[in-house]
Structure 1
């Protein structure tokens, strides 16, 4: 499947809310819950506007992963950008019906190409210890596993740890 990534825009709010709502239970199986307030449309619109402001200030970059018909099938972001060190943190999520198709891998490759003009030289990422697919996506794109947290956390009645990765421009 061919995909593109596009920077988040104001016009994306309604479709993005639908995507997040439809995939909520799927996402919450592998990442911490965002809380019920996130799924209230009025709160979502406020958060969307805040993300656009953060992007405008170049503190973060928010991308939508889209298929050939321009439908949202995932998200990939660079957040908490430290311009003094040219470092950011990457995260991504792909809708349930699109998993297992290499979408996250392709999106991360596109992101790494896109940020080459943004002077970001290092990216950090983390995933849960059970999310082997995400760990493989990171490793395939040149990220190196650096540490697994000693501290455990409970999510969905299961105990997990975070696994941390880093990517550096060579």
Structure 2
């Protein structure tokens, strides 16, 4: 499937909220939940505006993963962005449940990393996932990320505890 990255904007606010609501239960099995308020339109728009402010200030780079027909397939984000003395950020992504196992996440990480490598000579990109998120670990490793650390029992999802796995991609 052909995908492209679209910089986050208010243009996609309603479609993005629908995507988040549709995938909430699935996402909360893999990452800590955002709470009920997040999914209410006014709160969501406030949250989105805050992200856009961070993006405008250079503190984050937020993208939608879109199909050719502009359907939101997922999101990929760079947050905690710093550009001195080299580019560093944390990367995170989420793919809608019905688009899993189609290579979208791996392709999106590859596209974003290619964009960063073309713009910056030195990179330090960090990622974290849970021990039971085998797909995410595979995607990171396929894209050259290396496991740096495991935080035993660091993630609590529903009534279960999982380890956090911390990865990095560096050329500094």
| TM surpasses 0.5 | yes
- Kept in 1, the 8 Å contact 2:130–2:155? The answer is no
Name which of 154, 157, 165 aligns with 1:155: 157
Matched ranges for 1:75-114 at <5 A: 75-85=75-85, 86-114=87-115
Question: In 1, Cα distance between the equivalents of 2:73 and 2:104?
Answer: 9
SS of the residue aligned with 2:152? coil
Matched ranges for 1:10-25 at <5 A: 10-25=10-25
Name which of 160, 166, 169 aligns with 1:167: 169
Matched ranges for 1:6-155 at <5 A: 6-85=6-85, 86-119=87-120, 121-155=123-157
TM-score (norm. length: structure 1):
0.95
State the Cα distance separating 1:150 from its structure 2 match.
Answer: 3.1
TM-score (norm. length: structure 2):
0.94
State the Cα distance separating 1:115 from its structure 2 match.
Answer: 2.1
Question: In 1, Cα distance between the equivalents of 2:46 and 2:133?
Answer: 30
Question: In 2, Cα distance between the equivalents of 1:31 and 1:100?
Answer: 18
Deviations 1:64-101 (A, max 9, x none): 00111111010000000122242100000000000011
* Unmatched tracts of structure 2, length 5 or more: none
Please, what is the CA RMSD of the aligned residues?
1.4
Task: Give the structure with the higher percent strand.
Answer: 2
Question: In 1, Cα distance between the equivalents of 2:100 and 2:27?
Answer: 11
- Kept in 1, the 8 Å contact 2:5–2:66? The answer is yes
Seen in structure 2, the aligned counterparts of structure 1 residues 164 and 46 have a Cα distance that, compared at 3 Å, is same
Question: In 1, Cα distance between the equivalents of 2:163 and 2:77?
Answer: 22
Aligned residues: 170
* Unmatched tracts of structure 1, length 5 or more: none
State the Cα distance separating 1:154 from its structure 2 match.
Answer: 2.4
